[in-house]
Amino acid sequence: MIKSGLKTKEISKLRHISSSTVNRHRERIRKKLGITNEDINLATYLMSIS
């Protein structure tokens, strides 16, 4: 969903979870990819690696 460009609120509505939960998942994905302290858009980064 992130890769396809959906915003946090859109994902939270589709998944029936809070926006803060989506943000936490985004943080964990960024940590696993090693881009935690960089100014890289997560969706753009995901699209570039596939």
Among residues 41, 47, 1, the alpha carbon closest in space to that of 12 is found at 1
> What is the structure's pLDDT at 20?
97
User: What does the buried/exposed string (b/e) look like for 17-48 if buried means 16 or more CB atoms within 10 Å of the residue's CB?
Assistant: eeeeebeebeeeebeeeeeeeeeeeebebeee
Given a contact cutoff of 8 angstroms between Cβ atoms, the answer to whether 43 and 3 are in contact is yes
* pLDDT (tens digit per residue) in 18-42: 999 999 999 999 999 999 888 889 9
Look at residue 37 in the predicted model and tell me its pLDDT. Answer: 82
Q: How many CB atoms lie within 10 A of CB 9?
A: 10
- pLDDT of amino acid 48: 92
**pLDDT tens digits, one per residue of 9-18:** 999 999 999 9
What's the pTM value of the predicted model, to 2 decimals?
Answer: 0.84
